[in-house]
Amino acid sequence: MDSVRIFDTTLRDGEQSPGFSMNTAEKIRMARQLAKLGVDVIEAGFPIASRGDLDAVRLVAQEVRDVPIAALARAKKEDVTAAIEALEPAAAPRLHIFLATSDLHLRVKLNMSREQALDAIASMIRLGRQHVGEVEFSAEDAGRTDIQFLCQVCRVAVDAGATVLNLPDTVGYAIPEEYGAMFRQVREFLGDPQGITLSAHCHDDLGMAVANSLAAVRAGVRQIECTVNGIGERAGNASLEEVVVALAVRKESFGVTTGIRLEELFPSSRLLSEITGAAVAPNKAVVGANAFAHEAGIHQDGIIKNPLTYEIISPQSVGVPSRSLVLGKHSGRNALRLSLRDLGYEPSDAELAEVYRRVTALADQQKEVRQRDVVAIAHEVIRRGAVAVAAEAASPAS
């Protein structure tokens, strides 16, 4: 099967989002976990941003030797020089150069003509290739760039020596059909040259970063840029765990694989939350607290009989220790019986009915029925039942 590379930018684009800044030790710790996860490239930072970021990229490159390390640079000599310095210790360095290509960005942000943009792209890629064997070029705001000019940009970048072309949906404006069509047009223009990888980098402003990334795969893209927990600028980036699990679960549909070790997804998510102090939403796909939690009685009954009824992947396959059958007002008797057995109780049908009545009554009063609540109720009901049986056995009439 064809393979899709996973380019992780948690330490760069992810870290740029408010509240997610990491110090050097935290970056190294996360980078080691990303290597364990099996990502194909780690983008470690933006060296020109600060001396601290440059040093952090250098240290990540020194510490993590079995995964290519990338550093970001604008198409400016000082940026490229700083990135080259940061990547110097890397076993497999990648220089990632970007320049905005939409007319809006060129005019308003850069005060640059299209011709000047093409010159900057070509000259900075050539400079980079003098020092680094692999150069990736990103056309910032590609999703809103005139398609004919974008094709021209890609041709200039390839001719200058770029081997990876990243066409980002920088502001999360694209929809899947449009984003896939953009890549098809670029591929047709370039003629699918050997040794050139197309890459997608999507933001989630309209909630479609993962959908757009998957549409790009269908259009021939073989590198996806994403982040753990989907962190990143504004609404975030495409979520790494969602992308790779979708490709794994629907492998026959997409016809590709990744090198990601799925069982390391949950540990990676938890480590990032620990480092940043930002927990993921409970309903977050794959790694959220509720991703493998079931409260509705109908669902719980199905899960008990066969997990495939309501789970398309097992929790263990993505590193989640176990599923959870949550006891609440929507729960069923089968889930309660199973929970009681796990706690060491074997209730009779009458005892189960009484425990169930009390648990549902409690659930109407508070949002969550905790394990200690169930233990207290079960102990009282079952103990009372045992006392009643003993009293009956001891009575003279018996």
Residues in Cβ contact with 216 at an 8 Å cutoff, skipping those fewer than 6 apart: 179, 180, 183, 198, 200, 202, 224
Token reading at 56: 């952090």
Instruction: Tell whether 261 and 330 lie within a shared domain.
Output: no
Same domain? 183 vs 244: yes
The answer to whether residue 88 is domain-embedded is yes
Residues 218 and 344 in one domain: no
Q: Coil, strand, or helix at residue 223?
A: strand
Residue 200 lies in a domain: yes
Could you please report the per-residue DSSP string of 348-361? -HHHHHHHHHHHHH
Q: Would you say residue 223 lies in a domain?
A: yes
Tell me: do 26 and 69 sit in the same domain. Answer: yes
Whether residue 212 is found in the same domain as residue 86: yes
Q: Which of 245, 276, 307 is the last residue of a domain?
A: 276
Maximal C-alpha separation, the chain: 106
Quickly count helices (H) and strands (E) in the chain.
15, 12
pTM comes to 0.87
Q: Measured between alpha carbons, how far is residue 83 from residues 90, 93, 235 in Å?
A: 11, 10, 27
Gap between the Cα atoms of 212 and 91, Å rounded: 32
H-helix or E-strand spanning residue 257: strand 256-257
| 362 located within any domain | yes
* Contact criterion met (CB below 8 Å) for 83 and 95: yes
Do residues 102 and 162 both lie within one domain? yes
Specify if 284 maps to a domain. no
* Residue 331 within a domain: yes
Domain count, the chain: 2
Amino acid 389: pLDDT:
39
DSSP 280-310: PPTT-TTTSTTTTEE-SHHHHHHHHH-GGGT
Domain of residue 322 covers 293-392
Q: Could you report how far apart the first and last alpha carbons of the chain are, in Å?
A: 75
Do 93 and 9 share a domain, yes or no? yes
**Amino acid, single-letter form, for residue 160:** A
CB 48 within 8 A of CB 71: no
**307 and 266 inside one domain:** no
For residue 287, being part of any structural domain is answered with no
Are residue 43 and residue 192 in the same domain, yes or no?
yes
Query: Do 82 and 21 share a structural domain?
Result: yes
282 is a domain residue: no
- The domain boundary, picked from 231, 250, 276, lies at 276
Phi/psi of residue 352, each to 5°? -60, -45
Q: Are residues 264 and 307 in the same domain?
A: no
Same domain, 207 and 159: yes
Read off the DSSP letter of residue 312: S
Predicted confidence pLDDT, tens digits, the chain (398 residues): 899 999 999 999 999 888 899 999 999 999 999 999 999 999 999 999 999 999 999 999 999 999 999 999 999 999 999 999 999 999 999 999 999 999 999 999 999 999 999 999 999 999 999 999 999 999 999 999 999 999 999 999 999 999 999 999 999 999 999 999 999 999 999 998 999 999 999 999 999 999 999 999 999 999 999 999 999 999 999 999 999 999 999 999 999 999 999 999 999 999 999 999 999 999 999 999 888 887 777 787 788 888 888 889 999 999 998 777 667 777 778 878 887 887 788 888 888 888 888 888 887 888 777 778 888 888 888 877 644 434 444 555 54
Taking Cα atoms as reference points, which of 17, 34, 30 lies closest to residue 265?
34
CA–chain centroid gap for 373, Å, is 35
